[in-house]
Each structure stands twice: as structure tokens, then as C-alpha cells.
Chain A
Amino acid sequence: MSVLVYIDHAGGNIKKVSLEALSYATKVAELTGAAGVTALVLGSAADATVAGLGAYGATHVLWANNPLFDNFDSGAFTKAIAEAAAQTGANLVVLSHNSRGKAIAPRLSVRLKAPLIAGAVSLPTLDGSALVVRKSVFSGKAFADCVLAGATNIISLNPNAYSVAKGGGSCSVSAFSPSVSAADFKITTVSVEKQSGDAVPLPEAELVVSAGRGMRGPENWYLVEDLATALGATTACSRPVADVHWRPHHEHVGQTGITIRPNLYIAIGISGAIQHLAGVNNSKVIVVINKDSEAPFFKAADYGIVGDAFEILPKLTEAVKRFKAEHA
């Protein structure tokens, strides 16, 4: 057994979700007695960054230090990853189920004729020679244990489903030259617009402060943002709030928005409709703040405060600031 991990990075900054994928792959290699874990880096990065992957479990790095890969095209990247899989004889390819992973993994599945579990949330168990991996289905309302029994298999790991494990390991790095040329890049990046602030992107966030129609209007969102900033959390919202443009679309969580599983989800003035719960009920800890003690969300919560968000939020923000000062 041999494991290949595709490492996603932005301008040479390795994404945390890829370190999760690498830590996960290292654990899978240990469980299955695999010979080693090869990490694949495509595009420009610093030598130290690439060599540093050893600390997360990589025994070897293949690096295509070629500026062609500083542009993204799922077709070209798939071709390169497939060549790396062939070169290393990989039986398992692991990558993050982030935006790049969602574009690459299905293509790679076809190219390698390899079964894919898209959005795994657990380590695999062994069933004979097959791997059984859990993923969320029905947008968080259930799990499915899926069988991977290909000669090569692919797992795309959900963000926040496995913790980054850093050790003292080191790795060798070798140059990788896939037969990819400019002609394989058929997509042109016209521009990239950064989303405001330095908050962690919502799909990767460990702490999320989310609010709904109970906030009455966008002019009141500073209360939500103040709490999020104090906690170092990312903001989210319910669907109607995004529909009326109080908040941007990418903050919409739920069955028809994005599904998240942070360590902490604080829901403020959100009733807890089934479509909303579907997207967040795999969060580790849920806190609900709602003035209506009958709000359905309380049934899905670990902690609750029944009361007016407009009074509670400033108090909570103050309490977080005090807590942070004491624990600084």
C-alpha cells in the first residue's frame, strides 16, 4: 500500500485543510501498514515550506516547481496528480474536500478509474482489503459508510474532520516533471477578489458565530461581528438573511447553502428550521440564543440562552474580551 496526498496551497502558503489531509493520510498509512506517504506540491513555493511537510507525516515530497501551476485548471492538475499516482504506485490518493478538491477529485476518479469518497469525515476501517469510510449524506441528516474496493481509491477529506498532527519527522524532496503543458490550461483567471477581513474561511472555521432574521436588519450585525471578532470566529447566517442581501451569499449555511462542522456554532436569532439544522448539526458544540424558549433550535443545542440577542450579545462580547485578557 502506498499513499499520495495532494497538497493545496495559495501562493506558496499551504492550506490548513491540506495539513489535515496529510495528517489523515499519515494515520491511514499507519493503520494499513503502508510503506510511506508521498506529498505532491504543484507550483511555486519556498523550499523550506515544501521540506516542512515532513513534520506532518510526509516521508517524501514530489514537487513540480513550475509556474504553470500557479494558475489553476482542474484538468491540468488532474493530469499531473494522475501521473504522480502512477509514478509512486499509489493505491490511495487523499486530498481535501475544499474548493480545489471538489474540482479535482471527480476528474481524478474518472482518470484513475478509482472509486471516490467525496467529503469523508472519519478514518477508514478495513473490511478485508477494502476501506470503509464515513461521509455525511442528506446534507448532515445522516452518515453513510462507503466501500472503497478499487486498485486505487480516492478520499477527499471534509475540512475540520481531522486534526492537524505535527511531529518531528522530516522528508526527502524530489523534482517532479509531469507531462503537462500550457495547452492543458484551458481556464484563464481574470481576477481574484479577496473577501474582507482576516477571518478563517467559513468551511474551515473552528468557531462560527451565525445569526438569522432575529437580528432584524443588517445595521445590527455589528453586534454579531463584535462577538465573532472577540472570539476569533467566522460569521455565518441563515438563508433568508442571505436571500434579502443582509449578508453575502457565501455566509448562507444549511441544506441549500454550505454544510459546516465547526467545534463551536453559536446561533443567534435563528429559529432552527430543519433545512438550517441539516447544515450545522454536525458541529461539535452548539449554542443557541433566542428570545423564544419554544424555538426548535434549542432541541438541537448543547447550551442555550433564552433572551433578547440585543441585550445578550454586548454582554457576551465583554465576557469574551475579559476571558481573553485573563488567558492571554
Chain B
Amino acid sequence: MKILVCVCQTPDTAAKIDFVDNNTQFNANGVTFIMNPTDEWYALVRAIELKKQHGGTVTTITVGGAENEQTIRKGLAIGADDAVRIDTNAADSYGVAAQIAEYARSQNYDLILTGKETIDYNGSSVGGMIAELLDLPYLSGASHLDMPDANTAIAKCEIEGGIETLSAATPLVISSQKGMAEQVIPNMQGIMLSRRKPLTVVAPAAINDLASVKVFEKPAPRSSVKLIDPDNAADLIRLLHEEAKVI
């Protein structure tokens, strides 16, 4: 079974977010970058588990510059067999998806996994776009994925107020979320091996972006908290009704 996992780099979850150039650019200065959590914890780990079950290969793919290579090596240390980096900075989800789809088109992957969204631009779009570009079925936000055989995927996907169990034949695209796997910390052997695993740099295809960001803004800070005496808890309910008007 050939599995492709889309992984990208995002600012650390604890990073303070700032912008420069009149709030048109993210300020990466002093920011630590990590692998996007849902890509790493769920998509990549589950891909490696499925490979152990059915044999085959797990390849990671990343659209971005050389500054992504530490993140990519981490994916190899966790257990991917090889990695592909498409050497361009895409400006939107479509740019990323189209580059990946162009590469994947000739490679006959059985399964393409993404995280449910990145924690920076929160697009939740790359998986669905790849599926449409390659005319494949798409399962969005799977919290569970089993492959009873190498040709069948059975996934649980959350919908509002319930969980659907869905099945589809490979090849297909699935975006992954919490529940699909447990986070794995790479061990020493994995880290040593990762240095010798192949990382192929591919030239980008000519692709135009669709949407663009005009300006960023940070939410206004809240005015200071109004404290309520714990012996007068009922006061809170009155304030929520009369003052905040939310109940």
C-alpha cells in the first residue's frame, strides 16, 4: 500500500502571534516552528500503523522552502520512509493542494492523508481540494480509520450531533483529527535512521493562487474581569441576563 501524508510546518501552539509590514505579513521572527499537530499526531502516526499492518510505504509531502527540512526530518524520525518537498511558498490552500495533486497524479497512492486543518491559517481545505483535483472520494475530519484490507477504508467522521461510520474503496483522500491515533515521540534510533532517509526536492508546477490576505488584525483585549463574590453566585446569573444579555 502506498500512502502519502501531507505535512506542514506551523508556529508552535504557545507562540505569540504578531504581524509586520502594516499587518500584512506574519512576523516569523523569534517564532519556534513545529509540525502541524493534526498532521503529525493523527495522519502520520496512523499511516505508519497502517503500513505495519499491510506493508508498503509512507511518504510525506510538504510544500515550502528549505526552512521546512527540520520538520520533514521529524516525520522521517517518527517513521515515514521518505519525504518530498515541493520547493515553493504557496499563498493559499489551493496553491498547496494543486502542487501536491500535480505531484501525486502520476504516483498512484492508495491513500492520501492530511490533518483536519493547520493551526495557522485554519483553511481545512487542502484535503478536499486534492480530492477534487484528482477526482477521488474524500472523507473530512475522520476520528478513526481502519483498513480491513489494502483496498477498503472504514472511517468514523464526526458530524454535528453524531458520528458516521463510512466506507470507501481506495484510492481516496482523508483528513484526520483527534481519535485517529496517539502522538508518538521519535526515539533515538528513529532520529539516527531519519538522517539517511531520502528527502527529494521537487520543482514546483506553475500554479496561480486563488485567494489572498489583505490585512491581519488581532482581537481587541477584553476589558478587565468583573469579580463576583462566591457567596453571591446568583448575582452572576442576574448579570448575565441584565448586563451581558446572553441568557
Of the candidates A102, A110, A116, the one having the most CB atoms from chain B within 10 angstroms of its own CB is: A110
How many inter-chain residue pairs (CB < 8 Å) link A and B?
Answer: 269
Interface of chain A residues 152 through 192 with chain B (CB within 8 A) = 186-192
Give the nearest-CB partner of A314 in chain B.
Answer: B233
Verify A99–B244 contact, CB threshold 8 A. no
Give the nearest-CB partner of A239 in chain B.
Answer: B178
Verify B214–A132 contact, CB threshold 8 A. yes
CB distance from B96 to the nearest CB of A (A): 11
Q: Mark A124-149, 1 if CB is under 8 A from B, else 0.
A: 00010000100111111111111110
Binding stretch for chain B, among A31-39, A58-66, A216-224, A297-305: A297-305
Verify A312–B137 contact, CB threshold 8 A. no
Verify A187–B219 contact, CB threshold 8 A. no
Verify B226–A147 contact, CB threshold 8 A. no
- 15 more A-B contacts (CB under 8 A) besides A74-B137, A108-B132, A250-B158? A102-B141, A106-B97, A115-B210, A135-B122, A143-B216, A187-B139, A188-B168, A192-B163, A201-B160, A242-B178, A264-B247, A285-B244, A301-B222, A305-B230, A318-B234
CB distance from B5 to the nearest CB of A (A): 18
* A302 touching B225 in the complex, CB below 8 Å, given contacts A103-B128, A281-B219: yes
Verify B14–A274 contact, CB threshold 8 A. yes
Alpha-carbon distance A146/B147, docked complex (angstroms): 39
Interface of chain A residues 76 through 124 with chain B (CB within 8 A) = 78, 98-100, 102-111, 113-119
Interface of chain B residues 106 through 135 with chain A (CB within 8 A) = 119-129, 131-133, 135
* A301 touching B128 in the complex, CB below 8 Å, given contacts A187-B167, A192-B162, A259-B122: no
Verify B131–A75 contact, CB threshold 8 A. yes
Residues of B within 8 A of A (CB): 11, 13-14, 17, 19, 37-38, 41, 92-94, 97, 119-129, 131-133, 135-141, 143, 154, 157-169, 172, 178-179, 210-219, 222-223, 225-230, 233-234, 236-241, 244, 246-247
Contacts of A303 in B (CB 8 A): 225-228, 236, 239-240, 244
Alpha-carbon distance A188/B135, docked complex (angstroms): 17
Alpha-carbon distance A142/B122, docked complex (angstroms): 11
Interface of chain A residues 247 through 280 with chain B (CB within 8 A) = 249-250, 252, 255-257, 259, 263-264, 274-275, 278
Chief secondary structure at chain A's binding surface = mixed
Alpha-carbon distance A302/B239, docked complex (angstroms): 11
The 3 closest A-B pairs by CB, nearest first: A106-B128, A307-B230, A201-B160
Verify A118–B125 contact, CB threshold 8 A. yes
Binding stretch for chain B, among A21-29, A46-54, A319-327: A319-327
Query: Could you say which of A193, A256, A274 contacts B37, with CB atoms under 8 Å apart?
Result: A256
Contacts of B230 in A (CB 8 A): 305-308, 311-312
